[in-house]
A and B are shown apart, each in its own frame.
Chain A
């Protein structure tokens, strides 16, 4: 009998666990241990997902558009702020505490205010996403810029580099790994941020759909949309992984020893 290699088993392990959990859940539901109106079975959730599929797609588009717009603005702002904070240490000292404080403000609390100020359109949603995504992006970039090797920077200075050249050749590429790590966090925040802002008011989007199905006690649809949001976040992270592999080819090299 041939044994499976450990790596195959490792890869299969999470899938098996998920399947097992779903089976237990389905079993509990089918046997009537948990009443259907409290917890729908996985089969019901799948049914609801396909029944409402066209509706889900159109709501997803709105939510994704908000998330993409908010995330892009956050990345741009974070880049500008981190760039200047890295360049001018006084600015860094002054702004850093403010950045940290901004992160302690609960988003759910300011969302209604944003709606009061900016109305029910896309604006308050985008602003909320920018607020949530800005912090991880700015901190990540800032730390990435300052992670550049000081000896390399000295060498660049000795070769007559300007500050901008040091940024371009050393600091920016040094920050890419941190940038992508932060981007993964920010991308998932952006989707969740869009949904939360839609709960509090709006015409379209997965958050709006969620509030509607909650009010009609359609828990199967509720679960369908929860899984959809998870799936979207997972896909985004996978996409960022691929982008990172493309953008930083030197990180994926297997170190090869060569004879002199």
Chain B
């Protein structure tokens, strides 16, 4: 059964259609990118999947259960890390467990177990403002992971980082994902990032936004940092640029 299914979702604001008949699915352990230019309705789709917004038409299913318009089922991570400045990193990461009603000691112990895996060891009792941007994004990712080891929704999570940090975090991210196999829907406007990380790519384009193409990236995982330098990579990129109807 697919982890996440979005079926024929449409949405408009004040009569202006934003999304039209968007369908996609995410299989167990898959990393799927939703690639689109700004204004194609990525964030709207994101809000609908997370349940913060209801679509006019269409449905969202999580592991077979309908969750259309229901918040509290899928957590997400944004470009802004949204870590609470007044909690330690440990307190922040344990938050989804505390919300679920887990006792504080247990929640903290459970959260602390993953710090090593996410490259955060030693930061438990520091405050987010003491960490670098890359570290904060890792903490935000761990928080998302602790909310649900099921499905995560990432909305341009690394786009605020500088190129070098971004490269480093991509390598790290691919490594971690190999181990934890989190089914992930990854929203981005960065073509290179999408090709490097995804198993499949959906291309969202036009006004209103529609899924114009679906593309499988057949490069086996784990992928090396050399992958973007290969001919295959460029071929994928050329294909995507053509599908996005960007000027050549």
Contact = CB atoms under 8 A, between A and B. Distances in A.
Interface of A: 149, 151-152, 154-161, 165, 169-170, 173-174, 176, 248-250, 253, 255-260
A255 B130 contact: yes
24 contacts: A149-B82, A151-B82, A152-B82, A155-B76, A155-B78, A158-B50, A158-B72, A158-B75, A159-B72, A159-B95, A159-B96, A159-B147, A160-B73, A161-B72, A169-B87, A169-B95, A174-B86, A176-B86, A253-B127, A255-B129, A258-B130, A258-B135, A259-B132, A260-B135
A256 B98 CA distance: 28
A173 B168 contact: no
B113 interface: no
Given A151-B80, A159-B147, 10 more contacts: A151-B82, A158-B71, A159-B72, A169-B87, A249-B127, A250-B87, A250-B129, A253-B127, A259-B132, A260-B168
Contact of B84 (A173, A176, A257): A173
Nearest to B50: A158
A-B residue pairs, 9 tightest by C-beta: A160-B72, A260-B134, A173-B86, A158-B50, A250-B127, A258-B132, A157-B71, A250-B86, A161-B99
A155 to B, nearest CB: 5
B82 A155 contact: yes
A257 B86 CA distance: 18
Interface in B78-105: 78, 80, 82, 84-87, 95-96, 98-100
Contacts of B99: 156, 159-161, 165, 169
B234 interface: no
B67 to A, nearest CB: 11
Contacts of B82: 149, 151-152, 155
Contact of A152 (B74, B84, B127): B84
B7 to A, nearest CB: 20
Interface residues of B, number: 32
Given A156-B99, A158-B52, A260 B165 contact: yes
B169 A260 contact: yes
Given A161-B99, A258-B130, A258-B131, A151 B78 contact: yes
Contacts of A253: 127, 129-130
Nearest to A255: B129
B55 to A, nearest CB: 16
B157 interface: no
Given A155-B82, A169-B84, A260-B165, A160 B134 contact: no
Interface of B: 50-52, 71-76, 78, 80, 82, 84-87, 95-96, 98-100, 127, 129-132, 134-135, 147, 165, 168-169
A169 B82 CA distance: 13
B146 to A, nearest CB: 10
Contacts of B127: 249-250, 253
B104 to A, nearest CB: 12
A158 B165 CA distance: 28
B60 to A, nearest CB: 13
Nearest to B147: A159
Contact of A159 (B75, B86, B165): B75
Among B74, B86, B96, B168, max chain A CB count under 10 A is at B86
Contact of B100 (A155, A160, A249): A160
Interface centre among A152, A174, A250, A256 (most CB of B within 10 A): A250
Given A157-B52, A250-B86, A257 B78 contact: no
Contacts of A255: 129-130
A130 B37 CA distance: 56
Contacts of B135: 258, 260
Contact of A260 (B95, B96, B130, B132): B132
A169 B87 CA distance: 9
A259 to B, nearest CB: 7
